[in-house]
Amino acid sequence: MTELREHLHGLWLPLVTPFRDGKLDETSLRRLIRHYSGQAVDGFILGATSGEGMTLREGELERLVAVVRDEMASGRRTLPICLGLSGADTARLKDRLDETADWPIEGYLIASPYYVRPSQRGLLAHFEALADHAAWPIALYNIPYRCAVNITNQTMLRLAEHPNIVGLKDCGASREQSIALLRDRPKSFRVLTGEDANYLEALTDGADGGIVLSAHVETATFAAVYAEAKRGNHDAAQARWHEVAELTKLLFTEPSPAPAKYWLWRSGLIDSPEVRLPMVEVSSELAATIDREIERRMKVAA
């Protein structure tokens, strides 16, 4: 497998996990991989928040990775895979690292421990213990509004010194903190935004890319925003961003990934909009709004 640090840039897709009748829908999963492997996507995150990873049952996560890798092997393009992991027990997460050590992945995306609210010393010790133990590189996932704890920049810069910690999905919800981190980080430490609505803003501030759920839709446009921003063509990037900015709000009107799954189902990419409790499918009101938006975009494209 390739070195994750070299590939942790551009547009990454936190892939939804398709279900049907309570089971992993491998047919739809293969269809998704065929479709997005042909798009300007730079990597996949599997089994994380957007992939409903915390609801995946024993064996499903491994099967998810195997199917994705198999489908890419039979296609024309292979993309790096990061496996989403989360938990509040360092020892149990080390066990998960052992269990996945020989899986065909390039690395992990690991969120902060949720609910227990460790101190910064606790976060430092937690992530260093995982990085020391992991067979694959780790990207950190800072999302304090889900985990109830923020990885401060002081802690982040300490962690960035670890050779097996290569980057960050930044959902810190503080532009000031993000800008300071981008200024002070080691050159080899990659920072990708995970806030869809702030995608262009983060790229303008110097982020290396984004992990963007909304890029399941209008993928080429999200990729074009990145390309134009990296070329320094701010006006062109802004123009392309204008095409999808409202989309990043619509797809989070109700808890994600239900709206994106509904859109993908209506577009024929997956066979069911099914999600797993405690997530529920979109309301009839939002479904009608998404239907109208799909129809509008189809008319514009025609």
Q: Which residues of 147-164 are buried (b: 16+ CB within 10 A; e: fewer)?
A: bebbbbbebbebbbebeb
The HSE-up count of residue 96 (CA atoms within 13 Å, CB side) is 21
Whether residue 139 contacts residue 4, with contact meaning beta carbons closer than 8 Å, is answered with yes
State the DSSP code for 142. Answer: E
Residue 105 is labelled as binding a ligand: no
To which residue do tokens 């024929």 refer?
Answer: 268
Is residue 169 annotated as a catalytic residue, yes or no? yes
Identify the helix (H) or strand (E) that includes residue 245: helix 234-250
Consult the annotation and say whether 179 binds a ligand.
no
Helix, strand, coil percent values for the chain (each to nearest 5): 50, 15, 35
Residues 6+ apart with CB under 8 A from 154: 120
262/232 Cα distance (integer angstroms): 35
Residue identified by tokens 């798009």 is: 39
Q: Cα(217)–Cα(248) distance, rounded to whole angstroms?
A: 10
Tell me whether residue 141 is one of the annotated catalytic residues.
yes
Catalytic position from the list 36, 108, 169, 199: 169
The answer to whether the bond into 137 is cis (omega within 30° of 0) is: no
d(CA 177, CA 20): 41
Q: What is the DSSP letter of 154?
A: H
The active-site residue, picked from 141, 199, 226, 262, is 141
Active site residues: 141, 169
Known binding site for pyruvate: residues?
A: 50, 211
